[in-house]
Structure 1
Amino acid sequence: MIHCIELSRILLQSLRNMLLLQYLVHVLEGDFLPRNRLFNENMNWTLLRESLLNMLLGSRKIMYKGLIKDCLSIICVISNGHTEFSNGRRYQENSSAEQLKNCDTAVAIALPEAEKCTCSALQKLLLMIMELDKSKKIADMQGHTSRADGVRIPVVEIILDELAYNEDIISPFFLVFDEPKWKLEIIVQYFQKYIAKPSVRTRRSNGGTDDATFDGILKCLSNINSTKSIIKKISIGVVQLLLSHAFQAYLSLSSQHSVKDISDSKGDVKGSSLVDICNNMISAFTCLRRTDEHTEILPFGKEALFTAATILATKS
């Protein structure tokens, strides 16, 4: 009985924390989105400098890098089907379902939905920070920022470092993080970390590199030598997951007729037709198999290949 009461208390506190987090993100979103929209119209950086989000991230009371890491950790924990409580203990939902039912039916019913909404809120928070970083970069290039704005590591760089440090969080993170534009951006930048750059840059190559796009990544992975070099640093399973998620994001952007919306990002696929992407997707997976005949295509990879083949069949 005592154990049941304690569990119920912990669950209730966890639920309160999640609801509070969702409310805070809602407040930040309501303040930031209109300001960012106006900034894109008139380039007035003061609007974003005075936003609640910017002031929060710049506060000395906030450990910015730790905040981002905590967001990723919570997303991955919930994505893996766990519930993390304030005292650091974790309970598997399937193993504690009966206990939850016996202790507090209302909390047990509310918890799964609260976790889902918490993941959504954390994604919104990360997306807002990404957009803030993007806007700040634009303002900085136009000379609208000052020393008072400080220097902050872009959130995408922190995410990339965490994904590179711990490959186990890649799958749960991208299962939750489903915003296609930034998803594609992150994956392309992740691959770029492991693609060998030419030691000598000519005047012709001083512009954007081909591997700075999703199609460029696919072409790189369609080269047996490049693929062998990459899989020495990234496991074949991770490569498959990233390619499949990137392809999913690309298709989502294409269906929204908004591929042009990412023309300023490294995930830009402008100029590459859907047929080219599908052909290069199949070619990249074929090359992965050629590097290791024992390589097994993951279910998610098979879905991506089936989709690519189906699209090509309809286009022929």
Structure 2
Amino acid sequence: MELCRHSKINGGRLEENILAIVDASEARDTQDADDDRIAFLEAVRATAIVSESRTTPTHKMLQAAFKILSTGKSLELIMTSYQLLHELEKYFPRVYLSKVDESKSDSKDMTDLVVVKEAWSPFILNAEIASSERKAVTDVAGGLVDSSGFYLLIQDIAVVVDEKNFQTCDTKSLGKMLLFQYLVNILECDFLPRNRMYEETMDWILLRESLLNILLASRKLNCKSLLKDCLTIMCKLYQVCALFSDDLIYEENSVEKSARKCDTAVSTALPEVGKNTSIAIQKLITIIMELDKSKNKAEMQGCTTRADGVRTPVVEIILDELTYNTDILHPFLQVFDEPKSKLEVVVQYFWKYISKPSVRTRRSNGSADDTTFSGALKCFSNISSTKSIIRKIGIEEIQLLLVHGFEATLSLPSKQCSDESNSAGNQECRDSSLTEICKNLISAFRSLRSTEQHMEILSNAKEALFVAATILSMKS
């Protein structure tokens, strides 16, 4: 409470007092020093979040909190700094949308993008960096993170998620996963309001200046390798977290096995941190997909330049990985559950192997030739095309794609998928109704069974067919 009173009197003195707590422990690695660091984090939280008269934390405060997250050696320090930084991002956003003054605008729905340029950021991505700042750029060892540092972090996590390594995971490895989650949150919070404003204004500069675009455009970053590592992490975490949770049940009374693994606190936190890291990977892939769509629109309008960089769209990289490494197809479809993005991957996977539709004229208004999920389902309407698809994809893979495409469709807002829907935001929902998709799904499986009489229908495929039949019976 003393700190809160000081904030009203002298902000500069308050900063000195709070930073003095952590400065005193800078060179020490003892329990007392860790207690001082916890006290520092609590002091920042008290003045910036708890206090009624919130004080915006200074760059030095945020940098100190970030350093604790990056280099902390105790689980309490890492978790406390992560939670604090996450909360501060909500209370003091760097980029956000605000309502425009109605007196200055004819529309009540008009919004304005606010970018706090002087706000602190854990990233340092600009091409021209002062020499003093450049020294701070490290491989996330407490300094600011550049593109190569971000990639190194992902590579480190890719090593951690190997089953054997995950079972012997320590506090440092757990800290790297939390650090990655925080950095992805920063990228997402910076990108989403910019992208929403871009959709309204079509001003590409808004996205060109986003942290995500600058990061991916860096010459220090190999986007293909980064995304391949991301897929590996996401799929392995899905599998290894379930196995690790089961192991804990059987080994909770085994002192010898527990000693060989991480301590009890880390063991308890690890499955949840691993799960959230997988979710963070999914968020990163999703916002890159959204950036690719917006960039494609900007390119068609001639708004992009060489400075924006040239890279392979993320969906193409995902399709290549799923094609040449079929072992990750099932875990990918299981864990990647953002419906709109998931449906796009499923649709493009099908159309990669289905014969391309004929060129349509302006007067053509049928949906049969559209490269949508409904269009893919209709390609199973005869034995000849079904045999061709089975040869190219495989019977089990086809079932997985059909099931997860259907699940993604059901997960979309129901209003968008009604027969009367004219939503401009979703191509799939414009072209066909849910009723039509249910009919085509059942027809596709009938065609598969007719073509492959000895085909074993997967359990989740049976569930999808039951749901489709139920929906049709309710609408009849």
Q: Which amino acid aligns with 2:463?
A: E
Q: Which amino acid aligns with 1:289?
A: R
CA distance in 2 between counterparts of 1:134 and 1:197 reads 21
| 1:142 is aligned to 2:301 | yes
Partner of residue 113 from structure 1, selected from 261, 269, 272: 272
Deviation per residue, 1:80-136 (Å, 9 max, x gap): 2259xxxxxxx8554576234874111111001001111111111011101111111
Contact 1:192 / 1:211 at 8 angstroms: preserved in 2? no
Distance 1:287 1:95, change over 3 A: same
Q: Which has the higher contact order (CA 8 A, sep 6+)?
A: 1
CA distance in 2 between counterparts of 1:245 and 1:196 reads 22
Contact 1:214 / 1:269 at 8 angstroms: preserved in 2? no
The CA deviation at 1:222 is 2.4
Q: Please give the TM-score of this superposition, normalised by the length of structure 1.
A: 0.87
CA distance in 1 between counterparts of 2:166 and 2:301 reads 54
CA distance in 2 between counterparts of 1:7 and 1:45 reads 42
Q: Which residue in 1 is equivalent to 2:449?
A: 289
CA distance in 1 between counterparts of 2:168 and 2:225 reads 27
Q: Which residue in 2 is equivalent to 1:178?
A: 337
Contact 1:15 / 1:114 at 8 angstroms: preserved in 2? yes
| 1:238 is aligned to 2:397 | yes
Q: Please give the TM-score of this superposition, normalised by the length of structure 2.
A: 0.59
Identity of aligned residues (%): 57
Q: Which residue in 1 is equivalent to 2:287?
A: 128
| 1:76 is aligned to 2:235 | yes
CA distance in 2 between counterparts of 1:143 and 1:211 reads 26
Q: Which amino acid aligns with 1:255?
A: S
| 1:300 is aligned to 2:460 | yes
Q: Which amino acid aligns with 1:52?
A: L
CA distance in 2 between counterparts of 1:178 and 1:63 reads 26
Q: Which amino acid aligns with 1:14?
A: S
Contact 1:180 / 1:249 at 8 angstroms: preserved in 2? yes
Q: Which residue in 1 is equivalent to 2:440?
A: 280
Deviation per residue, 1:167-207 (Å, 9 max, x gap): 11111011111111111111111001111236x75758999
CA distance in 1 between counterparts of 2:206 and 2:360 reads 41
CA distance in 2 between counterparts of 1:48 and 1:57 reads 12
| 1:51 is aligned to 2:210 | yes
Distance 1:228 1:106, change over 3 A: same
Partner of residue 214 from structure 1, selected from 358, 373, 398: 373
Distance 1:110 1:262, change over 3 A: farther
SS state at 1:270 partner: helix
Q: Which amino acid aligns with 2:219?
A: R
SS state at 2:391 partner: coil
Choose 1 or 2 for highest CA Rg: 2
Distance 1:250 1:163, change over 3 A: same
CA distance in 2 between counterparts of 1:33 and 1:245 reads 26
Distance 1:205 1:111, change over 3 A: farther
Distance 1:202 1:159, change over 3 A: closer
Distance 1:140 1:7, change over 3 A: closer
Q: Which amino acid aligns with 2:396?
A: G
Distance 1:211 1:239, change over 3 A: farther
Which sections of structure 2, spanning at least 5 residues, go unmatched?
1-164, 252-256
Q: Which residue in 2 is equivalent to 1:252?
A: 411
Tell which deviates more after alignment, 217-226 or 69-78. Answer: 217-226
Alignment of 1:9-20 (within 5 A): 10-20=169-179
Contact 2:198 / 2:207 at 8 angstroms: preserved in 1? yes
Greater helix content: 1
Distance 1:205 1:246, change over 3 A: farther
- The count of aligned residue pairs is 302
